[in-house]
């Protein structure tokens, strides 16, 4: 009888550990920081935090809203980024950018409503739209 209880307890424990490892992953803030190279502000409102698992592929969405003062500080990070192409507006010539032709294919550009970031990593694609009108940041990470 004791062996049955021990066996059932060990199976339950193994299932709990498996569920933990299968569902735990990097936090949204960690994904954001690693994908963009920018520090996420400490104070913000999360509008969307969604992970879509599609077998070996996935999509991760993280949309946040900042207040005006925090957005200004965040914009200074963008302008000081190594990948910021200050002379580019809307549709840049991606391949002509010195930042985009390096080993890490990443670029920040200015748009009519804010800024846009695109990074093609070894395994994942990262994009970030910063809407300075509504003070919302739209982050997407995907692997196809």
Q: Where are the domains of the chain?
A: 26-143
pLDDT of residue 18 exceeding 60, the answer is no
Strand partners, 110: 89, 115
What confidence tens digit (pLDDT) does each residue in 84-130 have?
877 665 555 555 555 555 566 778 888 889 999 888 877 788 899 99
Give, in order, the Cα–Cα distances in Å from 13 to each of 4, 10, 22, 129, 136: 14, 5, 14, 43, 42
pTM exceeds 0.95, yes or no: no
Q: How buried is 63 (Cβ within 10 angstroms: 0-12 exposed, 13-18 middle, 19+ buried)?
A: middle
Q: What is the per-residue pLDDT for 83?
A: 78
């Amino acid at each position: 009888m004791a062996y049955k209880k021990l066996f059932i307890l060990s199976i339950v424990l193994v299932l709990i550990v498996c569920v933990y490892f299968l569902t735990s992953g990097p936090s949204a803030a960690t994904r954001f920081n690693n994908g963009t190279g920018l520090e996420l502000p400490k104070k913000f409102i999360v509008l969307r935090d969604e992970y879509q698992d599609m077998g070996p592929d996935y999509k991760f969405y993280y949309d946040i809203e900042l207040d005006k003062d925090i957005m200004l500080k965040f914009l200074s990070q963008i302008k000081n980024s190594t990948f910021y192409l200050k002379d580019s507006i809307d549709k840049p010539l991606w391949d002509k950018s010195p930042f985009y032709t390096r080993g890490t294919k990443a670029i920040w550009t200015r748009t009519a409503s804010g800024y846009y970031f695109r990074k093609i990593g070894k395994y994942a694609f990262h994009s970030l739209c910063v809407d300075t009108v509504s003070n919302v940041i739209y982050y997407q990470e995907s692997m196809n």
